[in-house]
A and B are shown apart, each in its own frame.
Chain A
Amino acid sequence: MENQDLSQRFNQNLKDADLIALYRLMVLTREFEMRVCKIYTQTTIPETPHLCVGQEAIGVGSCYGLRKDDFVLPSLRGRSVFLAKGVPPSVLMAGVFGKATGPSKGKYTAHHMGDLEKGILAGSLLIGSQFPTAVGAGLAFKLKKTDQVCLCYFGDGASNRGDFHEGLNLAAIQKLPVIFICENNLYALYTPVEKAIAVKDIASRAQGYGMPGITIDGNDVLTVYQTVQEAVARARRGDGPSLIECKTYRLRPHCERFQENRPPEELAYWWDKCPIKRFKAHLFDQGVLNEETHHRIEAEVAEEMNRAVQFAEESPYPDAAELCEDVYADGVIRGGRLCAS
């Protein structure tokens, strides 16, 4: 939380339209998540929601300044990243419903979706396996001599996997354009971070890999934006990877399937630090946002989400005949095995 001043510094470089766009993306993400939360209790959907409520500033702030051809590999709580990277809410919601119009045509859970055209790499359901994949993206950029970058998101829990070590070390020795963004929300499911990690800041581990590491307030969207932009510029210059730790808190359980008993005063503290609430107050202070524009944004987002849910509900499920498609690039599975024709 040492970098509160950054938002002040950078605020001067962002136009009002950018600030409104950042705010709108966070509001859209929150609305999307709360719709999923509600739908999950009302009807049967394939997705087990792992909501990013309270963490919206990280995905939105980090993706906002990216180019279209830059890549991201979100954590399991990546809805703000998908939306900021331009996935239409309707498509994303169709994915939540397991419909044929979703990102993978119903083949894979939407909260780990990939879309190569939008610059999104799919993550697996295994916490902390994303580091090497993102490093591979960086390697491809280096080999092809492009100046694209890849943002790799992960939680505090994932930073204890061996793949964190192998991935960060590999990115550092090869000087790859990968920015590792830790969403430290203080819990790995039920386990508090201090029971799993002996250092105060995960960013301090960067030193062991020979890359810069910084801990920031992950609930301040402008700080996230600014810090990531600096790391991106460094990566584009060919100076290699960075580790950015965003301190944050999830205001919903790990997933909606599990009950949690975190201290109410802790939840109240973090609701008070809600990134949307804080940014809204900041924008009101600056005169960028007023009651009228704020209400208009909320109404637009609500309408957009109505359309998204309707689209998802009305979309068809995939045809069962498509079960065995999309496994091999040029082969067909017959009788349960891949035989040569």
Chain B
Amino acid sequence: MRQLTFREAIQEAIAEEMERDSTVFMMGENIAASGGVYQGTKGLLEKFGEGRILDMPISESGFVGAGVGAALLGTRPVIDLMFNDFIPLVMDHLVNHAAKMRYMYGGQAIVPMVIRTFFGAGTRMGCSHSQSLEAYVIHCPGLKVVMPSTPADAKGLMKSAIRDNDPVVFFEHRLLYSVKGAIPEGEHIVPLGQADVKRKGSDVSVVATGRMVYKALEAAAELAQEGIEMEIIDPRSLLPFDCQTLMESVKKTGRLLIVHEACKTGGFGAEIAAMVAKEAFGYLDAPIERIAAPDIPVPVSPTLEDQYIPKKEDIVATAKKMVA
């Protein structure tokens, strides 16, 4: 199978959808001529022209809000928000507009827009260029939230997100952009709300998102040497969430470990833990564990930032404790 990077997979998904549907267009800062700060939109200007790949002024609130208006009137904007740390700048249009429009119109309206945004620590860029802010948007009814970990998933989910009739926030971990993976030939769609079991196992269910999927897989390989088999579930889509796959796994293993890069308090993991505590209570053989970043701003210095990001060793140690 042909190999693409995570970055190329997303570019390909957008290009395919723009070819398929003339109402799809892009807005964002530095996305046209320069192809995006992480080259996320490379080649799209040449293919689709300035009429559909629109460079925006530094007006995040303005162009995300404009995306809502454009989506209400029959187009499908794909907005490049650059850093997910810009989400606070656009919260009004995401939370008070995009998410609520359908309700405000009594079901008459759809808001088919995608906000793609990169996130994550590990590049020494500081506390407002490194966060994982998915919980901010998961909390808001009316939005959908996606966080793929592999190139194939990124491509398939981006295509689903663009075709979806609700606003979707699409989180891309920037340290995954260069990761290569196999991409199926032809039309490749991954539906929203479908988890993927990245590794089968019988002892501990691990829900991991984004870059943490790779850390969990590394930990699983190491633990397998000691006879501990972890099952790694990548939700891929955080909202809607695939409850069924998670419940089936937890009922089999009796243990749940959640790993995300966002800080712990009020994080997505808390919601998963609550869900399992309620619906699989009788199956649990150990307390539910969460591994997350500490509740602090993301630091800059290598020694500090490396300490901040959840590590394979944390996962190994916690899983061992759970099966002991």
Which residues of B (231-270) have their CB < 8 Å from a CB of A?
237, 239-244
Residue pair A132, B106 in contact (C-beta under 8 Å): no
- Choose one: A108, A138, A140, A170; the contact of B57 (CB below 8 Å): A170
The answer for the CA separation of A311 and B141 in the assembled complex, in Å, is 32
Known contacts A114-B109, A124-B97, A340-B240; decide if A167 and B104 are in contact (CB<8 Å).
no
The answer for the CA separation of A163 and B61 in the assembled complex, in Å, is 7
Determine the chain A residues whose CB is within 8 A of the CB of B193 once the complex forms.
339-341
Of chain B, the residue at the smallest CB distance from A105 is B106
Determine the chain A residues whose CB is within 8 A of the CB of B40 once the complex forms.
none
The smallest C-beta distance from A68 to any residue of chain B, in angstroms, reads 15
Residue pair B106, A104 in contact (C-beta under 8 Å): yes
Determine the chain A residues whose CB is within 8 A of the CB of B57 once the complex forms.
166, 169-170, 173
Residue pair B59, A136 in contact (C-beta under 8 Å): no
The answer for the CA separation of A309 and B243 in the assembled complex, in Å, is 47
B69: interface (CB < 8 Å): yes
Known contacts A136-B70, A143-B23, A338-B241; decide if A124 and B106 are in contact (CB<8 Å).
no
A299: interface (CB < 8 Å): no
Of chain A, the residue at the smallest CB distance from B142 is A327
> A115, A135, A150: which has the most chain B beta carbons within 10 Å?
A135
Known contacts A133-B69, A137-B70, A143-B70; decide if A331 and B240 are in contact (CB<8 Å).
yes
Determine the chain A residues whose CB is within 8 A of the CB of B271 once the complex forms.
337
Residue pair B106, A103 in contact (C-beta under 8 Å): yes
Which residues of A (136-178) have their CB < 8 Å from a CB of B?
136-141, 143-144, 150, 162-163, 165-167, 169-170, 173-174
The answer for the CA separation of A136 and B73 in the assembled complex, in Å, is 8
Residue pair B65, A135 in contact (C-beta under 8 Å): yes
The smallest C-beta distance from A30 to any residue of chain B, in angstroms, reads 27
The answer for the CA separation of A163 and B66 in the assembled complex, in Å, is 10
Determine the chain A residues whose CB is within 8 A of the CB of B96 once the complex forms.
124-126, 129
| A-B contacts at CB below 8 angstroms, number | 188
Known contacts A329-B110, A339-B193; decide if A136 and B66 are in contact (CB<8 Å).
yes
Residue pair A132, B68 in contact (C-beta under 8 Å): yes
The answer for the CA separation of A108 and B77 in the assembled complex, in Å, is 25
Report the interface size class on chain B: 35 or more
Determine the chain A residues whose CB is within 8 A of the CB of B103 once the complex forms.
104, 107-108, 326-327
Determine the chain A residues whose CB is within 8 A of the CB of B51 once the complex forms.
143
B108: interface (CB < 8 Å): yes
B30: interface (CB < 8 Å): no
Of chain A, the residue at the smallest CB distance from B67 is A136
- Choose one: A105, A136, A167; the contact of B107 (CB below 8 Å): A105
The smallest C-beta distance from B26 to any residue of chain A, in angstroms, reads 11
The smallest C-beta distance from A107 to any residue of chain B, in angstroms, reads 5
The answer for the CA separation of A129 and B93 in the assembled complex, in Å, is 8
Which residues of A (170-199) have their CB < 8 Å from a CB of B?
170, 173-174
> A131, A162, A340: which has the most chain B beta carbons within 10 Å?
A340
The smallest C-beta distance from B192 to any residue of chain A, in angstroms, reads 7
B180: interface (CB < 8 Å): no
The answer for the CA separation of A121 and B101 in the assembled complex, in Å, is 10
The smallest C-beta distance from B1 to any residue of chain A, in angstroms, reads 27
Known contacts A112-B104, A114-B104; decide if A134 and B166 are in contact (CB<8 Å).
no
The smallest C-beta distance from A154 to any residue of chain B, in angstroms, reads 13
Residue pair B104, A132 in contact (C-beta under 8 Å): no
Of chain B, the residue at the smallest CB distance from A114 is B105
> B59, B106, B192, B271: which has the most chain A beta carbons within 10 Å?
B106
The smallest C-beta distance from B215 to any residue of chain A, in angstroms, reads 25
Of chain B, the residue at the smallest CB distance from A140 is B73
Determine the chain B residues whose CB is within 8 A of the CB of A166 once the complex forms.
57, 59, 61-63, 65
Residue pair B141, A167 in contact (C-beta under 8 Å): no
Determine the chain A residues whose CB is within 8 A of the CB of B25 once the complex forms.
143
Residue pair B97, A133 in contact (C-beta under 8 Å): yes
A222: interface (CB < 8 Å): no
Determine the chain B residues whose CB is within 8 A of the CB of A14 once the complex forms.
none
Residue pair A132, B240 in contact (C-beta under 8 Å): no
Which residues of B (99-119) have their CB < 8 Å from a CB of A?
100-110, 112
Of chain B, the residue at the smallest CB distance from A130 is B65
Of chain B, the residue at the smallest CB distance from A328 is B166
Instruction: Please name 20 pairs of A and B residues whose Cβ atoms are closer than 8 Å in the assembled complex, sorted by A.
Output: A103-B106, A105-B107, A106-B106, A112-B104, A114-B104, A136-B69, A136-B71, A136-B72, A139-B66, A163-B61, A166-B62, A167-B62, A170-B62, A173-B57, A326-B103, A326-B107, A327-B103, A331-B166, A339-B242, A340-B194
Name the 5 nearest CB pairs between A and B, nearest first.
Answer: A136-B69, A132-B65, A340-B193, A166-B62, A329-B165
Extra pairs beyond A136-B71, A328-B142, A330-B166 (6, CB < 8 Å) = A136-B66, A139-B75, A165-B59, A329-B102, A329-B110, A331-B144
